[in-house]
Structure formats: C-alpha cells, structure tokens
Homo-oligomer: A and B are copies of this chain.
Amino acid sequence: MIKFIKRKIKDIKLENALLIEGLPGIGHVGRLAAEHLVHEFNGEKFLELYCYDFPPQVLVKDDGTIEYMKADFYAIKEPKHMIVVLGNTQALTPVGQYHLAEEIVKLGIEHGANFVYTFGGFGIGKLVKEAKVYGATTSKELAEKLKEHGVIFRNDGGGIVGAAGLMLLFADLNNIPGICLMGETPGYLIDPNAAKAVLEKFSKLENIEINMEELEKRAKSMEQFIERIKKFEEETLKALQKPPSDEDLRYIG
C-alpha cells in the first residue's frame, strides 16, 4: 500500500460537482487549464493531500519558507460546482500512480463529485497555430457528445499514462463518467495555447463561460518569446554559412 496524509483546511459542501485534475504533465497543459479555472472562479482550497510516493523532498522558497510536494483541492461554486486538484508532482512509481488516482477520485466523490475531467497535453513535437483537442471517455454516449463538439479521437492506438488516464479508470470503477481532454502541444514548452483550447471545449461541453484573457496574455508573451528565439536562430545560421572574412579568420584558432 502507499500511505497518504490528508490535511483538512476547511469544510465544504458541494453536489453533482465536476472533479478536475490538474497535475503536471506534457506541456503542463492540464495544470495550466485547471489553475485557470481556480483563478477565474475563485476556488477555495479545502484539502491538502500528501503521498509517500511523491518525491522525497521539500522545495525552498526565496523567503526561506518551504513548499511541500502535495496536491491541493479547491472548491468552486459558480458557475458550477467543481473540485479542482492542483499538484506540483505526480506519483513516482506505477503502483503509486494507481493509488494516487484512486485516492483523488475517492476524495472527489466524498466531497460531492459525480463526474471526472482530466486535462492533458498531446505532444506533437511542433508548434501549431490552432491546437486541436483530442478526447477519450468512459462511454460511447459521451464519445458521441465529444464528437459533436469538435473534439477528435486519436487513432495511434496509444495510451494516456498517469493520473490523467487512471482517474478515468477509477471514475468507471465508481460508476461515474469520465472525460479526458488533450490539447495538441509541442511537448517541450509550457503551453497556454493548448490549455486555452482544452478549456474552450470544456466550456462548450459544460455550457459555461470562461474568460480566457489571462491565458491569452500568457499565450501572446510566449509567441513573442518564440519569435525572438526563431530570429536569433536564423541570424546565427546565416552568420555560420557566410564565408569567413580575413578579419574573422584572425580570431579563429
């Protein structure tokens, strides 16, 4: 067994809530999307979850206080009841990943959840202007609903590893539905663009409005940053291709 410690912060009362997973993963897409919900909808932290299969360390902040490896549970009431789980780590071992997914779904249901969403990134190795959103779900009916909303399906026969996949298994074993939304992302960047695409599908599926301004700002900064990197790469390449002048040669070797 893997041991857990739960630290209760406050009592909450939710019903028919969506349980939303935002642990670190590819492109940090899931984490960014879930975090955005907490900010936009004033999520209140009500529980901290510690796991003995998390990295055996504490992090040190600039002010000398420490930050723990944990998963924080936030309650949202408007526009819908939601429990959003934000964490700074996944479990380290395969067995730990099973126990963690089980524990998060169990805690979600205990606090009023009856539907599971996991958000993640689908690594495609390159940047795209419009990130497509791939989906996977526990039932054929929900698959139809995803299709109607422009969510596409993977046909690479691949899998969803870690909490994003296993929480669907534990949703199913607890007889509640689950949906995973994966935004296309390069995989080597923290990607607010993919997070935004995932939240757009989520907002349509759940019929709620989400103000994307903050994510758009972050996406814009990132594009400008990438533009500057590209420019620098082009100039460096040109300089390397030009035949060296006499002056240059004096500095080589």
Chain A residues packing against B (C-beta within 8 Å): 1-3, 5, 7, 50, 52-60, 62-66, 68, 92-99, 101, 135-140, 143, 146-147, 151, 153-155, 157-162, 165-166, 168-169, 172-173, 180
Contact of A143 among B65, B97, B180 (CB under 8 A): B65
Q: Which residues of B contact A159 (CB under 8 A)?
A: 55, 57-60
Q: Which residues of B contact A151 (CB under 8 A)?
A: 64
Q: Which of A1, A137, A169 has the most CB of B within 10 A?
A: A169
* 11 chain-A/chain-B pairs, Cβ below 8 angstroms: A2-B95, A53-B94, A56-B98, A56-B161, A56-B166, A57-B165, A64-B143, A64-B151, A65-B136, A65-B140, A65-B143
Q: Which residues of B contact A165 (CB under 8 A)?
A: 56-58, 66
Contact of A64 among B101, B153, B162 (CB under 8 A): B153
- How distant is A176 from chain B, measured CB to nearest CB, in Å? 14
Taken together as a complex, chains A and B put the C-alpha atoms of A143 and B65 apart, in Å, by 6
Q: Which residue of B lies closest to A70 (CB)?
A: B169
Contact of A98 among B52, B64, B98, B139 (CB under 8 A): B52
17 extra interface residue pairs, beta carbon distance < 8 Å, beyond A55-B159, A93-B95 = A3-B98, A50-B173, A54-B98, A56-B101, A56-B165, A57-B161, A59-B157, A60-B153, A60-B154, A60-B158, A60-B160, A63-B143, A64-B153, A65-B137, A65-B143, A66-B165, A66-B169
Taken together as a complex, chains A and B put the C-alpha atoms of A173 and B139 apart, in Å, by 40
Q: Which residues of B contact A143 (CB under 8 A)?
A: 63-65
- How distant is A120 from chain B, measured CB to nearest CB, in Å? 12
Q: Which residues of B contact A50 (CB under 8 A)?
A: 169, 173
Q: Which residue of B lies closest to A146 (CB)?
A: B64
Known interface pairs A64-B147, A68-B169, A143-B65; A57-B162 also in contact (CB < 8 Å): yes
Q: Which residues of B contact A155 (CB under 8 A)?
A: 62
- How distant is A9 from chain B, measured CB to nearest CB, in Å? 13
Contact of A99 among B52, B168, B173 (CB under 8 A): B52
Task: Please tell me if the beta carbons of A168 and B1 are within 8 angstroms of each other in the complex.
Answer: no
Q: What 3 A-B pairs have minimum CB-CB distances, sorted nearest first?
A: A64-B143, A56-B97, A52-B98
Taken together as a complex, chains A and B put the C-alpha atoms of A93 and B53 apart, in Å, by 10
Taken together as a complex, chains A and B put the C-alpha atoms of A54 and B5 apart, in Å, by 23
Q: Which of A56, A58, A137 has the most CB of B within 10 A?
A: A56
Task: Please tell me if the beta carbons of B160 and A58 are within 8 angstroms of each other in the complex.
Answer: yes
